Structure 1
Amino acid sequence: MSDALVELRGIAKGFGEGEARVQALSDITLSVAAGEVVGLRGPSGSGKSTLLNLVACILEPDAGLLRLAGETVWEGRWRRTDLRAFRRERIGFIFQFHNLLPFLDATDNVALAQTLNGVPLKAARQRARALLDYLQVGKRAAAMPAKLSGGEAQRVAIARALANHPRIILADEPTAALDSERAGVVMDLLRQVAREQAAAVLVVTHDEKIFSRFDRLVSLRDGRIEAESRPEKHELDVI
């Protein structure tokens, strides 16, 4: 795909040596385009988290090609010398639990991601407040994480993931700790972000209640892509 921001071709990954070796992924070919939200589903041990960590440049593939945001990142070896800088610049992360720092308010939790990337604190706080407003949680900008509801905390976590203008958003079970209504709101926010920010969003999930929010669902089993489907479109809810 010419507009693919995430592109894997023939990716393989195993762990261990000899008889103890486990093949976690085999011959994975997958693309995620700008503006697209793709879900990864499958039973435990199917390779979902391994695949997400490969795209995050945390794990190194054994074979294949990995292109992110138009750049070949791995082909036989890492093509980038500073993967941490690449992750900060190109990739945003959202987790099952918000993982906000408890001693920083919502604004500074978002600003911190930028200051680690060299942005002056004043500018980082301005963008943080703009992102919190964008995600309709600006009224909680001065709140500490302990004072946020689960849905509010996850919105702040999404703002943090967007702080450095990433083109790729990776989410690991982002709705597992939320009820159906809040899970739907979070997924609609991710779809809004994908569309308005021209980002590619890749989500690992077991959460059947959000399947209709994806543009595509990719099913993994035993380290291979078993099937792909396009759920019936779910119109964006009013956020």
Structure 2
Amino acid sequence: MRDDSHRVIVDISGVAKHYGEGETRVDALRNLDLTVHAGEVVALLGPSGSGKTTLLNIIGCIIEPSTGQVSLDGELVYDNRWLRSDLRRLRLDKIGFIFQAHNLLPFLNAADNVALVLQLAGKPRAQAQARAQELLDYLEVGHRARAMPALLSGGEAQRVAIARALANSPRIILADEPTAALDSKRAGIVMDLLRKLAEEQDACIIAVTHDEKILDRFDRLFHLRDGRLENDNGDLK
């Protein structure tokens, strides 16, 4: 069950997103409210075109809402306009991304894929490499640190991708179909890892998924249809 004493990490109020105007206007999100707490692992569900990816991208500060407020880790970052001038830095500091395809750079080994994020954030190479090895060890793929992505199994590559998402110790981890390319066993392992990370890092995980075999791993399910939440308080545990 959700512990409401946990700090709010993602707080969205009255968020809407539309494209175009007049007869060509498309409402991707309509006056949506969403609150996610530290330690929670939640899913965004719904048919294609329901607004799941749009919502994930707004939380990730990739897409600008049309209206509303967005607070991330206690900071109001959007209030009918961006309140931060450097969104790239905001993403580096607060948000980790995990995708269906691991998107590892094929010309860098596993450790270098993780360390690159830290170096982009201004960390010295030696410090970045040490942190990368620490994360890979934590995710039990430290022995594959020097392996190139093409030589990693699907499960290993996804763990490296998770390590990369965690490099800067983000409080918000956004996952887009993180288990779609994995079999049931590996999907369960990845979700168990994400839950462990949420609890130990005091972070929240928000995942878009169609993967029915992992739904019991989430604290709450948010169902979207036509840009609206159908229900948003169905605790599973």
Q: TM-score range by the shorter chain?
A: over 0.9
1:130 is paired with a residue of what secondary structure? helix
Q: Give the match for residue 190 of structure 1.
A: 194
2:200 is paired with a residue of what secondary structure? helix
Q: Give the match for residue 230 of structure 1.
A: 235
The alignment covers a number of residue pairs equal to 232
1:87-166 aligned at under 5 Å gives the runs 87-166=91-170
- The answer to whether residue 10 in structure 2 is matched with residue 10 in structure 1 is no
Q: Distance in 2 between matches of 1:36 and 1:13?
A: 25
Q: Distance in 1 between matches of 2:225 and 2:119?
A: 40
Q: Distance in 1 between matches of 2:212 and 2:19?
A: 29
**TM-score when normalising by structure 2:** 0.96
For 2:235, give the aligned amino acid. Answer: R
1:166-192 C-alpha deviation (Å, 9 max, x unpaired): 111000000000011000000110000
Residue 18 of structure 1 and its aligned partner are, at CA, apart by: 1.5
- The answer to whether residue 90 in structure 2 is matched with residue 62 in structure 1 is no
Any unmatched runs of 5+ in structure 1? Answer: 234-239
Residue 165 of structure 1 and its aligned partner are, at CA, apart by: 1.0
Q: Distance in 1 between matches of 2:170 and 2:122?
A: 15
Tell me which stretches of 4 or more aligned residues in structure 1 moved more than 4 Å.
none
State the identity as a percent: 64
Q: Distance in 2 between matches of 1:38 and 1:122?
A: 35
- Indicate which of 154, 167, 170 corresponds to 2:171: 167
- The answer to whether residue 33 in structure 2 is matched with residue 26 in structure 1 is no
2:64 is paired with a residue of what secondary structure? coil
Q: Give the match for residue 236 of structure 1.
A: none
Residue 230 of structure 1 and its aligned partner are, at CA, apart by: 2.2
Q: Give the match for residue 40 of structure 2.
A: 36
Q: Give the match for residue 237 of structure 1.
A: none
1:28-56 C-alpha deviation (Å, 9 max, x unpaired): 11111111001000000000000000001
For 2:211, give the aligned amino acid. Answer: D
Does 221-230 or 28-37 show the bigger shift?
Answer: 221-230
1:24 is paired with a residue of what secondary structure? strand
Any unmatched runs of 5+ in structure 2? Answer: none
Q: Distance in 2 between matches of 1:103 and 1:69?
A: 34
- Indicate which of 70, 75, 78 corresponds to 1:71: 75
1:193 is paired with a residue of what secondary structure? helix
- Indicate which of 197, 204, 213 corresponds to 1:200: 204
For 2:9, give the aligned amino acid. Answer: L
